[in-house]
Every structure is written in C-alpha cells, then in structure tokens.
A and B are shown apart, each in its own frame.
Chain A
Amino acid sequence: MDARTFIVSREDWSLHRKGYQDQARHQQKVREAIKQNLPDLVTEENIIMSDGKQIIKVPIRSLDEFRFVYNFNKKKHVGQGDGDSQVGDVLGTDGSQGQGKGQQAGNQPGADVIEAEVNIAELENMLFDELELPHLKQKDKDQLETTEIRFNDIRKKGIMSNIDKKRTILENLRRNALAGQPGIHGINPDDLRFKTWEEIVKPHSNAVIIAMMDTSGSMGSFEKYCARSFFFWMTRFLRRQYEKVELVFIAHHTEAKEVTEEEFFTRGESGGTICSSAYIKALEIIDNRYPTSSYNIYPFHFSDGDNLTSDNERCVKLISQLLKRSNMFGYGEVNQYNRSSTLMSAYRNINLPHFMYYVIKEKTEVYKALKHFFKKQPGGVRHDVR
C-alpha cells in the first residue's frame, strides 16, 4: 500500500445541476409541443371523455429522438426461459410485451407517438389564453352581491362550537412531548385551536349556453363528435368567466325537444331538418326560465347545413329575435365534404355584429372555430365579469 494507485474522494456536488437543467429544457419542449398540437388536442378523445379527471395522457408527436432503427415488431429477439420453454409458448400479447422494455427504450421505437401527462387546467390556460369573451353586457345581477362564508383560518381564540379538535390534540401532543411526557393529557387553554371564517363578497353572475344540434339522419358520428368537442371546451371556457354556467340541450330534426346531455350527443334520428323549430324552442326556454336581465345567454347551433329551403327565411328572422336576448349567437356548420349548404347560403347574408358562423371541415378545425367565436378583440379591454 506504499505506492497507492488509487484515490478516494468526495466532492461537493451540490452545484452540479446539469441533469435538472436539461430536464427542465425537455419539459419546456413538451409544453411547446403541446401548444403546437393544440388543434389536435382540442378534439382528443381522452380529454373530451375524461369525465373530470385532472391529469390525462395525450399523445405528443414530435418529441421523440428520431433515428434510423429497425422495426421492433418485425424483428426476431433472443430471450431466456426458466428451463422449460417450448417452441410455441406465448410470452405475451401486444402491448404487454415488447414495448414495455424500459431499459432499452433508447434504441427502440415504441409507439410512434409518446404520451405526455397533461394537467387539464394547464391545457385550459394555454388554450384560453388565446380566447376572449366578446360582447359582454352588464347585467342587473352584477350589482347584486352574494356573501359566502368560508372557513379558512385557524386561531387561538374563538367560540367553543368552532373548536378544531384535531389541531387542538396535536398541540397538546406537541407540548407534552416537549415537556418530556408524551401522550394526550392535560389539555389546557393554550392548546385550543379554533376554526374561523372569512366573508367573501362575490358579484353574482350567470350564464346559460343553449346548445342546439341537428339530430337528423344526415348528422353522422363525425359531425356529432365535432359538436361535442366544441361544447366541451365552450362550457369550460364560460365556467371560467361566470360563476355559474348552465347548459340547455335542444335536439331537433323537424321538431325540437329539450333533452339530456347524454341523449343530445348519442341520439340519432332520421328525417328531414327544420332548424327554425329549435330556435322557437330556444326562445321559449329563454323567456320562461332565463330572464335576460340576470343571464348572459349564448345560443349555439350546430348543424350540417342541410335545412329545408323554405325554412331558411324564418330562421334568419328568429335569429335576430334571439340576438335581442343573447350576448351572441354562434352557428357552427360541420361540413366534411364541403357541400354547398342551404342554411349557410342564407346565413352568409346576415349582417349583425353578434352573429357569427364557422364551417368545420376536419377535426382540427374545432380549435379554429373556438378561436373564431371567442377571438381576442384587437386592443379590446378584457372584461372579467367576476
């Protein structure tokens, strides 16, 4: 051990942050990729059908490290058994095996897209950053304030009915432990903790979305899916702006009916289309249930545009009536094959500031439709109703 050929050392590594820095860079790239993929993500089934999950997995294209590699699935591999493997043994079925080999992920292409976990709230922030609520109106209720009580603080003084037992016992435990006699005993006034509340004053604001959709035979699953995605995001967007957002679903073919959400998106009916029936129903519901003085009303209508020609004129008239009661009226046409539509030819000529329309030809255009209906007004002041 005289001429030592080795050294043992122990540096201070606490400033070595390279791994974390590049990890942060990667995460930043993931977020950028999500942003670039917003048009795809908006109609992502995982999200629309997520049922309120907070974190969802979405496929992100473009963040893999691409290189020339063999097709994993078309390759032979060598494996090892317990000693009794036989030709013909099944090792696993697709998905459970092959792609799950984390160790070698570097040189194997798993799926062609990688999945990233996204927080819906984060996605909303990105998306709604680009949107704004147009044509806000002051409602009477804005002056109406509601007072809410929220228990959100702990104090040493308070009334006995509001005692926080758990914290009181914790304090007692702590004090006894300090005194060298652990256990719960001898609760004294110093240990007592009380819950206390704050009064929160909020302006009361309401909005209602009147979702109308054509359920006639010509509306297929693609058309419905687009409409569904749109309403999903629109509801979430309005929830941010208003304290309370209600949804009313009206399905129509030749006549209109108020239906539940599930029926709205799943029910298919045959027959022709008379859009005015839905508008009449909408007017009726507004007049009965949602006084314009206290509600911001957003009627939106989705259709494939295949309306009975003689009905078009009535529709145009009804829209102007609806507009008198609403903040805006949106018409979305899902028109996959770019047919000329009778309804659109009529609506193109409506020249009212609060009437908007958009034609969706493919899934990614749901995003564009959202941006179109709720586009940021150049230089406009952002109103927050709340």
Chain B
Amino acid sequence: MTSDDNRDLEYAIAEITEIAEGFGLDFYPMRYEICPADIIYTFGAYGMPTRFSHWSFGKTFHRMKMQYDFGLSKIYELVINSNPCYAFLLEGNSLIQNKLIVAHVLAHCDFFKNNARFSTSNRNMVESMSATAERVTEYEMEYGTHAVESFIDAVLGIQEHIDPQVVRPQKLDKQRYMELKMREQREQEGQPTKAQGDYDDLWALDEMKIALKSGMAALQELPDRRFPPEPEKDIVWFIQEFSPVLEDWQRDIMSMLRDEMLYFWPQLETKIMNEGWASYWHQRIVRELDLTTDETFEYAKLNSSVVQPSRHSLNPYYLGVKMFEDIEKRWDQPSREERERYGRQPGQGRAKMFEVRELDSDLSFIRNYLTKELTDELDLYIFEKKGPEWKITDKWWENIRDQLVYSRVNGGFPYLVVQDGDYQRNGELYLNHQYEGVELDLKYLERTLPYVYTLWGKPVHLETKVEEKTVMFTYDGKKVSRKFVG
C-alpha cells in the first residue's frame, strides 16, 4: 500500500467515524491494523492474537487457511472486544471494501461496549491472554510439552461448562455462596455448627478452601449430605477447586482457560444480534458516503455476499439484519393494533433498536422480536433427519422461533451440572445432563469422559437420556460402561 492509499484510507476512516458518531454509535478508541491473510487467519483460528499455543488451533488454522487458498471463504476483518478496540483489516482490501468494513467494525465495537452481556468483560483480555500464553510456555519448559499439552487437551474437552451468569446470587462469589449453602444445610439438619465467635467467619474468608474442607468434613456425618449443596453448573470451576489430583500449575491453567471462556461466552450468546447490528449499520453508514458508480457496484457486491441468505443453515448476518430492520419498521410505523394495545407511539424505531442492542441476547432477541410475518417472509423452516433423508418437517412460526431459541440455550452446548462431588461416598464425580429433548452424541461422550477422569482422578459418571431412558455412563480409568437407571 502506498502512502497515498494510506492517506485515502485514513481520510475515509475519519469520515466514517464521524458519520457513525452522528448516528449515535458509541465505541472505544480504535486501532486498525492492516495485516496479511495468514495472520488474520491465525487470529481467526485462535480467537485472539495473543492466545496460547495448542495443536487444535493449528488444525483450525490449517482448515481456514486452506479454504481461503482455494477461494472458498474470505475473512475481511477481525475485531477484538477490548479497550482500545483492535480491528484487523486484510491486506489487499480495496478502499471501498475497507469503508464497508470500518463501518461494520465500529458497530461491532459499539455493541461490545454497550450490550449488557458484555458488561463484565475484561477489556484488557489481549494482555491477559498474552500473559496466559507466556505462563503456559513456562509450564511447558518446567513440566514438559507433552504433559502440558495433554492436560490442555483434557481441559478443552470441558471448557464450555462454565457458569457465565452476569448476575451473581446475593452478590457472593462462587466460594462464598457455596459456603453459605453448606452452612444452611448443616443448620437445617439440626447439627449445631461449631461454636462460632463473632469474627470466626472472617478467618474463613481468608482460608476459604480450609473452610470448605472443614465444611465437607462436618457434612460427612450427615446422613443426607449434599456436595455441592446445589447442582453446580460451573464444572470447570468445581474441578479446579475440588479435584484431589491436580497440581498447582494445572489449577492455574484451568483457571486461565476458564477466564478465556468467560470472555468469549458473551460473543457466543449474541452472534445473531451482533452481526445483524453491524450489518445494519454498515449499510446505513455507507449510504451516507459519496461513492462513484464503480464503488457503488463493488460495495453492493460485497454487501450482498455478506448478508446473503444461505440454504440449510441460517446466516446470522442475514437473520440479524432482517430482524433489526423489522424492529425499526414496527416501532416507526406501529400497526393500529400495536398502537391501541401497547400504546406504541410512531417514530420510535431507532430508539427501540438501541434499547434492544443494550438489553438483549440472541435468546431474548429471537423470543421477543421474531414475528410470524418475518418468519414467512424469510421462508424459515424446521428440518430434521427422517431415515436417510433430511426433510422439512415444520413451518409453523412459533415452532421455528422456539427451535431457534432452544438452539441458542447455553450457547448451543448441552447443559451439564455437577450433581455430586462425592458420589458413593468415594469422592467420585457425578455429572447430570439436564435433558431437554435432544440426545448427546454418545461416541463423543464416551471419548470425553476420560478427559474428565484425567482432571478428577477418580471414576466419573454422567447421567443422560437415551431413547427416553435414563442412562448412566461411567468411566473408571479403564473403560466406559453404561447402565440404565431408574
């Protein structure tokens, strides 16, 4: 890129930034970096420029890069949720492509900054991940590459099973909340808690783990004790805290990977919204620019390739942008019914959109704003496998809406909890799959349980449903067995 090109780009960015601010978009200071394809694909595969090394990222990178080399896919940009916000632009983008991309990226950044799901995001994650990567490398030096790698294999196997709640019950962190519940349990059972001085709980705060251990010991005597006191969604945290076999460095790695997952989680939960929001705004912003005929043509080509509907799978860009436009329309020109029943005033479109981008995630976005009219217009349907064929089985809008909602529950991952951390009074781990009508992939399950065993060090069990029957899978360190229960 010549210095002329550079100046043109900077000039365009300044103009676009001004327009975006004029529309009311609110973003962090921006850092644009122009980089070659293999770098942008590396970042895409790792999710972050500074993430630790692992072969699975290399595998993803290889696949993505190959698709690029064969011209099957192209990443034009990558934007990082951080303050300042980093945006990576693909070297060789034309000026008009970059205009679209910059507008798109600004809307993403606005979303990161203002959506409630991101309110607890660590905005220094670029640096945190870089520190994590360094620490992992140090552990590799100290404990051996193979040991660290196979441990990370195991942790990645359960990495989605964290508790991403933004709101914490009684504002307590996990350990304190658990302590509280255990104390309640002891008191319910009528067991006199140890004679406590007024300040004893302060000691416990200092040495929470000892408190929990002694709590566990006190519970030993109870005939009906439960540990954890309530089913625990955060399996990674639970294992990291209570596994009897982990070394300090292993707990450290687990907690770092958990932080990374917590950071990525809101992005999983707002994919449709975030892409829809960004696509909506790049269209509006580019409309404000003075483009030549050629530029308009090139812009239209790129724009349509981004938001084009795809058969069989749902393009989140397309669905998202259509839904935002629908919201704008319905709040700008409410129907008579909407005016009379909900007292909706016309002309509220943009204001409503900004409210939605702040308060919703994909789940509530679809549940609250996907309408029958839009479902029909987009020609959405439900399909499933019947025998060897994939068939359309339903076109009723409420079912489609609900199905979309289901598919977004828990980021699209099965909902698993720790039911018992001391199963059979033998310290075994009992996980329970909260079955909601979709079975787990059993082959994958049987290959993942050994990972959990690696982390827990004692037999692990997983209860789920197979063909409407409750089944318990067990891995005892040698083989996976299954038996029907109940």
Contacts and interface: CB of A to CB of B under 8 A. Distances in A.
A26 interface: yes
B74 to A, nearest CB: 13
Contacts of A271: none
A66 B447 contact: yes
Interface string B387-414: 0111111110000100110010000111
Given A22-B55, A69-B413, A79-B313, A10 B33 contact: yes
Contacts of A87: 381, 392-395
Contacts of A79: 311-314, 380-383, 392
B302 to A, nearest CB: 19
Interface stretch (B239-247, B248-256, B339-347, B433-441): B433-441
Interface string B412-430: 1110100000000000000
Contacts of A93: 388-390
B33 A72 contact: no
From B9, B378, B384, B394, name the one whose CB has the most chain A CB atoms within 10 angstroms: B384
Contacts of B46: 18-19
B442 A76 contact: no
Nearest to B412: A107
Given A85-B381, A103-B313, A109-B443, A70 B414 contact: yes
A105 B56 CA distance: 13
Interface stretch (A40-48, A94-102, A220-228, A344-352): A94-102
A19 B57 contact: yes
A287 B13 CA distance: 88
Contact of A91 (B379, B383, B413): B383
Given A8-B13, A65-B156, A80-B310, A98 B444 contact: no
A78 B381 contact: yes
Contacts of B60: 106
Interface centre among A1, A104, A105 (most CB of B within 10 A): A1
Contact of B33 (A9, A86, A98): A9
Contacts of A1: 14
B241 to A, nearest CB: 20
B32 A9 contact: yes
Contacts, number: 234
B385 A73 contact: yes
B390 A92 contact: yes
Most chain A CB within a 10 A radius of its CB, from B39, B57, B60, B444:
B444
Given A67-B448, A71-B438, A91-B392, A8 B67 contact: no
Interface string B94-124: 0000000000000000000000000000000
Contacts of B383: 76-79, 91
Nearest to B319: A80
Contacts of A98: 385, 390
A324 interface: no
A6 B13 contact: yes
Interface in A292-318: none
A22 B385 CA distance: 36
Q: Tell which of B33, B67, B404 has the most Cβ of chain A within 10 Å.
A: B33
A18 B462 CA distance: 36
Given A4-B14, A26-B55, A26-B56, A94 B379 contact: no
A5 B382 contact: no
A25 B55 contact: yes
Contact of B314 (A25, A72, A78, A90): A78
Interface in B29-43: 29-36, 38-39, 41-42
A65 B449 CA distance: 13
Interface in A1-38: 1, 4-11, 13, 16, 18-27, 29
B384 A77 contact: yes
A379 interface: no
B392 A86 contact: yes
A88 B32 contact: no
A75 B385 CA distance: 8
B484 to A, nearest CB: 18
A337 B13 CA distance: 76
A71 B14 contact: no
B385 A102 contact: no
A71 B442 contact: yes
A82 interface: yes
A90 B381 CA distance: 12
Contact of A76 (B379, B389, B403): B403
Interface stretch (B157-165, B203-211, B287-295, B352-360): B157-165
B456 interface: no
Most chain A CB within 10 A, of B41, B156, B389, is at B389
B413 A80 contact: no
Contacts of A68: 158, 160-161, 413-414, 416, 433, 440, 444-445, 448, 462
Contacts of A16: 39, 42
A180 interface: no
Given A9-B31, A98-B390, A26 B59 contact: yes
A9 B33 CA distance: 5
B54 interface: yes
B444 A5 contact: no
Nearest to A72: B441
B398 to A, nearest CB: 13
A153 interface: no
A384 interface: no
13 contacts: A1-B14, A9-B33, A20-B61, A67-B158, A72-B441, A80-B309, A80-B381, A81-B379, A84-B379, A86-B392, A90-B391, A92-B312, A101-B313
Interface of A: 1, 4-11, 13, 16, 18-27, 29, 64-94, 97-98, 101-107, 109, 112
Interface of B: 1, 6, 9-10, 13-14, 17, 29-36, 38-39, 41-42, 45-46, 53-63, 65, 67, 156-161, 309-315, 318, 378-385, 388-395, 400, 403-404, 407, 412-414, 416, 433, 438-445, 447-448, 451, 462
Given A69-B414, A82-B311, A92-B312, 8 more contacts: A10-B34, A13-B36, A64-B447, A71-B439, A74-B438, A78-B314, A81-B380, A81-B392
Rank and list the top 10 A-B pairs by shortest CB-CB distance, nearest first: A22-B58, A19-B42, A6-B30, A23-B58, A66-B447, A81-B379, A19-B61, A26-B58, A26-B55, A112-B443
